[in-house]
Amino acid sequence: MWFRGDLRLTDNPAATAALAEHSGEGPVHAIYLAAGGQWQEHDWAPIKADLLWRHLDCFRQDAAKHGVLLHIVVADTWQDAPRHLLEFCRAHNIDAVHFNREYPVDEQRRDHAVCACLAEHDISCQSYHGLLLVPPVLSPTTDNAYYQKFTPFNRAWREHIALAGIPGPVALTEQDCRSQLQPLPDCPYERRDSSSWQVGEAAIQSQLQQFIDEQIDDYHEDRDRPALDNTSRLSPYWELGVLSPVTAARKLQQLSPDFPDGLNKGADTWLTELAWREFYQHLMHHIPRLSYKKAFKQYTDEFPWRDSDDDFQRWCEGRTGYPIVDAGMRQLAAEGWMHNRLRMIVANFLVKDLRIDWRKGEQFFMRHLIDGSFPANNGGWQWSASTGTDAVPYFRVFNPTRQSEKVDPDGSYIRKWVSELSDCPASCIHAPASWLRSQPDNDYPAPMVDHSKAREEFLKAFKQL
């Protein structure tokens, strides 16, 4: 078993197949390649690396209870993957390798190279779509087209689930091989403490169940209110593959016998979020240029972005003078995570108020987010920049002050993260200039741009394309 972004045994088709094929003599040997150089190329956040390493330590213990002996092999980049996999197979007399597919270009090239190398030595490879509920085969026609808009994709995605059904859970074997585990090697990457986040399959499945039991009914109403923090906080575990979307779907299925229909509004809204995640994965499979920092709308690559290191740095540090933007950026710096609605607001501000290239924001997010997912992050930034396949129209430019009033009406989220405004009354919190005049020692900055003027400049530049 070759583990990658699927670090679980539950609802893992590749692991299930490896266990089923195993003769029962000794453990199923499994490998995880810790490629620090590749993580560097892909802008991994140190807090994400720390969460991964903590989970690996926990997961290999759990896997060994079920006869899966996980070896952590330190590599540099994925160019080394064929050599490491071949050496591993030879060392353990392996003639079949199972893995779940990943969809960006680098991952696909790695897998093709490994399979070709192993085939030369009569070692078979079998791959599965274990990262998705629906494989990237949905097509609006019969000529290998793909869905370019989310709404028809979501409709077809749900129809596919209804027809295919949700597979039942697979019982795991009981064969303890923990005594054969080797010490966990040192992580080949910079780490930042992630101890406020749980690790281990059992703990994360418990978190999923708690969210469904206690929060999902109000999800549609509360998800855009960052002060309420009513999101599931499961995103890092989708990225590392600790959770399978099949597991989540089975939990939702218990809420409605007509699943995926018949869910209440909160649960249905959350299911739609899972569909968005898969939509971006499908796009990575179908559109290689997305893996090369290219826009889906190719003409937008000619947009005249501003090159201002000072303005970009102020955005990174949360010193824009727009409280809701600054609160989101400071939460990211402090926690390695940001509420999803805030991600949209701060992204829109960078690309449309400051007219700074969305790729710089995309990279900054990846370097700081504990849940940094290339497909979802790329999709989200292209949505905000109006360059993506199903993006917000270019003429929709978020007004940061109006957004602030909408998502944080009493200013409690802003006060939590912008200490300079901790005493600012609700009547001034979204645009505190008048209140700041009465606070001569307060150094919170004035707005770095006039939103109305910035909006007009962005619209003028975009229309010229």
Task: Map residue 435 onto helix, strand or coil.
Answer: helix
Question: Which of the following is catalytic: 337, 358, 383, 417?
Answer: 358
| Residue 372 and residue 378 in contact, taking contact as beta carbons nearer than 8 Å | no
Strand partners of residue 97:
125
Nearest to 110 by CA among 6, 4, 240, 36: 4
* Catalytic residue from among 340, 405, 420, 435: 340
- Strand (E) or helix (H) holding 270: helix 265-286
The answer to whether 3 is annotated as binding is no
List 190, 273, 420, 457, catalytic entry: 273
Dig out the tokens for 14 from the structure.
């590749």
Is 455 annotated as ligand-binding? no
Over 273-322, what HEC string results?
A: HHHHHHHHHHHHHHCHHHHHCCCCCHHHHHCCCECCHHHHHHHHHCCCCC
The answer on whether 231 is annotated among ligand-binding residues is: yes
Is 219 one of the annotated binding-site residues? yes
Residue 197 bears catalytic tag: no
The secondary element (H helix, E strand) that includes residue 69 is strand 68-75
Spatial contact of 117 and 87, defined as CB atoms under 8 Å apart: no
| Residue of 276, 399, 435, 457 marked catalytic | 276
Among 78, 197, 315, 381, the one annotated catalytic: 381
Residue 235 known to bind ligand: yes
Helices H, strands E: what count in the chain?
A: 20, 5
Residue 389 labeled ligand binder: no
Clarify whether 273 is annotated catalytic.
yes
User: Residue 388: exposed, middle, or buried by beta-carbon count in 10 A (0-12, 13-18, 19+)?
Assistant: buried
| 299 annotated as belonging to a binding site for a ligand | no
**DSSP secondary structure letters along 324-393:** HHHHHHHHHHHHS---HHHHHHHHHIIIIIS-B-HHHHHHHHHHH-TT--HHHHHHHHHHHHT-STTPPP
Q: Which one of 154, 190, 264, 305 is the catalytic residue? A: 305
Please give the Cα distance from 261 to 274 (Å, whole number). Answer: 15
Residue 46 φ/ψ, nearest 5 degrees? -55, -35
Collapse the DSSP code of 208 into the 3-class scheme (helix H, G, I; strand E, B; otherwise coil) and give the result.
helix
390: amino acid identity, one letter = D
Does the annotation flag 276 for ligand binding?
yes
Residue 275 assigned ligand-binding role:
yes
Report the binding-site residues for FAD: 219, 231-235, 270, 273-280
Report the binding-site residues: 219, 231-235, 270, 273-280
Supply the residues annotated as catalytic: 273, 276, 305, 340, 358, 381
